[in-house]
Amino acid sequence: MNRIKAVQRALDGRRRRVYLEIGVSTGTAFRHIAAEEKIAVDPAFALSARTRERAAAKSSATHYFETSSDAFFANETAFLEQRGIDVAFIDGLHTYRQVVRDVENTLRYLRDDGVILVHDCNPTRASIACPAESYADFRARHRWRDVSRGLTTSGTLAILWSGDVWKAIVLLRSTRGDLRMAVLACDFGVGVIRRGAPSTLLPYSDAQVEALQYADLAADRNRLLNLKPPAYLDEFLNSEC
pLDDT in tens, 29-76: 999 999 999 999 999 999 999 999 999 999 999 999 999 999 999 999
pLDDT in tens, 179-235: 999 999 999 999 999 999 999 999 999 999 999 999 999 999 999 999 999 999 999
pLDDT for the residue 108 = 98
- Residue 140's Cα: distance from chain center in Å? 24
pLDDT in tens, 205-215: 999 999 999 99
Mean pLDDT rounded to a whole number for the chain: 92
Task: Give the pTM.
Answer: 0.93
What is the third-level CATH fold of 3-230? Rossmann fold (3.40.50)
Is it the case that residue 158 has pLDDT exceeding 50?
A: yes
Residue ranges covered by each domain of the chain: 3-230
